[in-house]
């Protein structure tokens, strides 16, 4: 008996829902944006600044640092050793008085750098992740 009484309500609800869907799909809208003219100039300055930058904040792994008379030779040897073990990857030598440093990788996130650190830890047990200016890494779909 209950099923017979509830049936007309279900049919009515389904018809109302399908009518609402038809109405909403036919509606079109128009959006107008009113903004200060200086917003466009700020956006243009931002785009220009970003396209002129060759580096941005990211992470690298430091595999060597030393100070002293032979520290440049040590840095060059560490760079050559890294590139021999991991061909195709780049090792960067930098000097920040009094240290020569060798850093590898261009990682956008600390998670990416930590993952790579585990990969090279056997060959470079004293390596660690450090925040640094990095080059724009290639995207996966390139």
pLDDT in tens, 47-63: 777 677 677 899 999 99
Q: Would you state the pLDDT for residue 71? A: 93
Rounded to two decimals, what is the model's pTM?
A: 0.60
- For residue 68, tell me if it sits in a domain: yes
Q: Would you state the pLDDT for residue 141? A: 54
DSSP secondary structure of 55-117: EEEEEEEEEEEEESTTHHHHHHHHHHHHHHHSTT--EEEEEETTEEEEEEEEESSHHHHHHHH
List, for residues 109-121, the tens digit of each pLDDT value: 999 999 999 999 9
- For residue 118, tell me if it sits in a domain: yes
Tell me which residue range forms the domain holding 128.
Answer: 56-135
- For residue 98, tell me if it sits in a domain: yes
CATH of the domain at 109: 3.30.70.1070
Give the confidence band of 87 by pLDDT, cuts at 50, 70, 90: very high
- For residue 8, tell me if it sits in a domain: no
For the chain, give the number of residues. 142
Report the number of distinct structural domains present in the chain.
1
- For residue 44, tell me if it sits in a domain: no
- For residue 77, tell me if it sits in a domain: yes
Cα–Cα distances in angstroms (integers) from residue 35 to residues 38, 39, 41, 72, in the given order: 8, 7, 12, 55
C-alpha span between 88 and 63 (Å, rounded): 17
Mean pLDDT on 101-106: 94
């Amino acid at each position: 008996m209950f099923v017979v009484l509830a049936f007309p309500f279900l049919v009515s609800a389904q018809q109302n829902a399908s009518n609402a869907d038809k109405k909403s799909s036919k509606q079109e809208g128009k959006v107008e944006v009113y903004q200060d003219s200086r917003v466009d100039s700020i956006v243009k300055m931002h785009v220009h600044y970003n396209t002129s930058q060759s580096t941005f904040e990211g992470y690298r792994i430091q595999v060597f640092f030393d100070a002293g008379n032979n520290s440049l030779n040590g840095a060059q040897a560490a760079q050559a050793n890294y590139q021999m073990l991991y061909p195709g990857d780049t090792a960067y030598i930098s000097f920040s008085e009094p240290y020569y440093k060798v850093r590898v990788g261009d990682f956008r996130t600390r998670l990416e750098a930590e993952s790579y650190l585990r990969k090279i830890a056997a060959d470079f047990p004293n390596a660690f992740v450090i925040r640094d200016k990095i080059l724009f890494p290639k995207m996966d779909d390139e």
